[in-house]
């Protein structure tokens, strides 16, 4: 409300009208039960409509106020004053004077000297137009008396307005300071929250990297263990292979030894038989062979002796220290030396020979 008075004192009626509209909205919202305040603000707004040239809106507002069943001196003095100005503007001097006198009456009862003085000015203009000099002078004296009081009141009011404006500005500055402090506080909290989030994120990433490193180390150890197991298995396999090879070599050597022993035994047996052969072969048969086939060697004669004793080929070869193939070749050469075509003919010669009596 003080802002409205400040703008009216500075003749800034458009801004004052805006303030009054805002004030009306506050009255409707915050003070729905204070109808008198609402109507008083509406009357002031009607005056602002008038001074800003919006007479249609001024008439509309005045008619709404005058049709209101609630009658109160505080807003009727202003309502009738605005009504009087509107009639005066339309040239209805007498009607304007009537509403001005009504405004004076309500203003006097309410103690609103400024409205009373303004109404007197309208009446004085009417007296001047109608030529009522006596009434004009009487009303002029009354107006001058009110004007002196109003002037002092206006000074006090202006001082009050300035004080209120100073308080208002201080409140605004305090509010701005509080707002800035809140912004700084919220900014600090936001920065703290952001820093906390960053720290949490860094800790999370660090923990994640640590877990990843531990996992990689665990995998490396598992791989190393698996490698060691594989290496041990490979070593074990090689050892088993070596053992198997040794076993095979051992068995082979055993077989070789057994074969050698067997061959030696067979050779010994064959040699024994050979000794027996040499001891038992008929001297006549040997002499016959030597005379008939002088080209034969001692081994050739031994081969013939083994054949006469029916000793198998393998034992004969063992006794002579040669292979069976070599024995077969020796027999072949023997037949060639003796000019005998077949083995059967050779056997018949050896086995069928009998000493002469």
Domain endpoint, select from 168, 186, 204 = 186
Q: Does 111 score more than 50 pLDDT?
A: yes
Alpha-carbon gap, residue 135 to 143, rounded angstroms = 12
- What integer pLDDT is reported at residue 194 of this predicted model? 92
Band of pLDDT at residue 7, cut at 50, 70 and 90: very low
Buried b (16+ CB within 10 A) or exposed e, 150-159: beeeeeebee
Buried b (16+ CB within 10 A) or exposed e, 274-307: beebeeebeeebeeebeeebeebeeebbbbbbbb
For residue 224, the SS3 value is helix
Q: What is the pLDDT of residues 140-151, one digit of tens each?
A: 888 888 887 776
- What integer pLDDT is reported at residue 165 of this predicted model? 58
The more confidently predicted of residues 298 and 43 is: 298
- What integer pLDDT is reported at residue 14 of this predicted model? 63
73 in a domain, yes or no? Answer: yes
For residues 111-119, give the mean pLDDT: 80
pLDDT above 90 coverage of the chain, percent? 3
Looking at the fold, whether 21 and 168 belong to one and the same domain comes out as: yes
Q: What is the CATH number of the domain that holds 70?
A: 1.25.40.10
Average pLDDT, the chain: 76
- What integer pLDDT is reported at residue 2 of this predicted model? 45
Domain endpoint, select from 171, 186, 201 = 186
Q: Does 155 score more than 50 pLDDT?
A: no
270 in a domain, yes or no? Answer: no
Tokens of 93: 């001097």
Q: What is the CATH number of the domain that holds 288?
A: 1.10.10.10
- What integer pLDDT is reported at residue 336 of this predicted model? 92
Looking at the fold, whether 174 and 48 belong to one and the same domain comes out as: yes
For residues 81-107, give the mean pLDDT: 84
33 in a domain, yes or no? Answer: yes
**Cβ(51)–Cβ(13) below 8 Å:** yes
pLDDT above 70 coverage of the chain, percent? 71
Region for 310 from its dihedrals, namely left if φ exceeds 0, alpha if ψ lies in -120 to 50, beta otherwise: left
The more confidently predicted of residues 255 and 328 is: 328
Q: Which residue range(s) make up the domain with 68?
A: 2-186
- What integer pLDDT is reported at residue 333 of this predicted model? 92
Looking at the fold, whether 143 and 18 belong to one and the same domain comes out as: yes
Q: Does 20 score more than 80 pLDDT?
A: no
Looking at the fold, whether 172 and 301 belong to one and the same domain comes out as: no
DSSP string, 253-276: HHHHHHHHHHHHHHHHHHHHHHHH
341 in a domain, yes or no? Answer: yes
- What integer pLDDT is reported at residue 12 of this predicted model? 59
For residues 277-306, give the mean pLDDT: 78
- What integer pLDDT is reported at residue 325 of this predicted model? 93
3-state secondary structure 228-259: HHHHHHHHHHHHHHHHHHHHHHHHHHHHHHHH
112 in a domain, yes or no? Answer: yes
87 in a domain, yes or no? Answer: yes
The more confidently predicted of residues 12 and 116 is: 116
116 burial class (0-12, 13-18, 19+ CB within 10 angstroms)?
A: buried
Q: Does 298 score more than 50 pLDDT?
A: yes
For residue 333, the SS3 value is helix
Band of pLDDT at residue 3, cut at 50, 70 and 90: very low
Looking at the fold, whether 176 and 305 belong to one and the same domain comes out as: no
Band of pLDDT at residue 159, cut at 50, 70 and 90: very low
Cα–Cα nearest to 106, from 138, 77, 127? 77
77 burial class (0-12, 13-18, 19+ CB within 10 angstroms)?
A: buried
Looking at the fold, whether 38 and 178 belong to one and the same domain comes out as: yes
- What integer pLDDT is reported at residue 139 of this predicted model? 81
- What integer pLDDT is reported at residue 169 of this predicted model? 60
9 in a domain, yes or no? Answer: yes
Q: What is the pLDDT of residues 251-273, one digit of tens each?
A: 776 677 666 666 666 556 655 55
Q: What is the pLDDT of residues 52-92, one digit of tens each?
A: 888 888 888 888 877 776 666 666 777 888 888 888 888 88
Domain endpoint, select from 186, 204, 225 = 186
178 in a domain, yes or no? Answer: yes
- Number of domains, the chain: 2
């Amino acid at each position: 409300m003080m802002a409205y008075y400040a703008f009216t004192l500075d003749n800034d009626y458009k801004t004052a009208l805006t303030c009054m509209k805002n004030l009306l909205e506050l009255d409707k919202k915050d003070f729905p039960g204070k109808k008198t305040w609402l109507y008083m603000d509406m009357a002031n707004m009607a005056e602002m409509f008038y001074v800003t040239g919006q007479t249609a809106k001024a008439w509309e507002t005045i008619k709404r106020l005058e049709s209101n069943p609630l009658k109160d001196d505080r807003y009727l003095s202003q309502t009738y004053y605005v009504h009087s100005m509107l009639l005066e503007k339309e040239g209805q001097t007498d009607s304007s004077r009537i509403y001005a006198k009504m405004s004076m009456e309500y203003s006097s009862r309410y103690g609103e000297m400024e409205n009373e003085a303004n109404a007197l000015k309208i009446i004085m203009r009417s007296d001047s137009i109608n030529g009522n000099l006596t009434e004009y002078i009487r009303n002029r004296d009354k107006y001058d008396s009110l004007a002196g009081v109003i002037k002092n009141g206006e000074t006090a009011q202006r001082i009050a307005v300035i004080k209120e404006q100073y308080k208002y500005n201080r409140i605004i500055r305090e509010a701005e300071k509080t707002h800035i402090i809140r912004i700084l506080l919220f900014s600090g909290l936001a920065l703290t929250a952001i820093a906390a989030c960053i720290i949490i994120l860094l800790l999370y990433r660090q923990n994640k990297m640590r877990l990843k490193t531990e996992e990689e180390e665990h995998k490396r150890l598992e791989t190393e263990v698996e490698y060691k197991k594989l290496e041990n298995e490979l070593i074990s396999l090689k050892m088993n292979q070596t053992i198997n090879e040794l076993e095979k070599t051992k068995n082979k050597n055993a077989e070789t030894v057994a074969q050698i022993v067997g061959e030696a035994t067979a050779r010994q047996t064959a040699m024994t038989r050979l000794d027996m052969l040499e001891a038992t072969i008929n001297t006549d048969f040997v002499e016959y062979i030597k005379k008939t086939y002088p080209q034969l060697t001692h081994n050739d004669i031994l081969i013939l002796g083994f054949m006469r004793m029916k000793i198998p080929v393998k034992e004969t070869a063992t006794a002579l220290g040669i292979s069976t193939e070599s024995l077969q070749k020796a027999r072949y050469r023997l037949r060639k030396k003796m000019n005998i075509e077949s083995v059967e003919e050779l056997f018949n010669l050896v086995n069928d020979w009998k000493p002469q009596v």
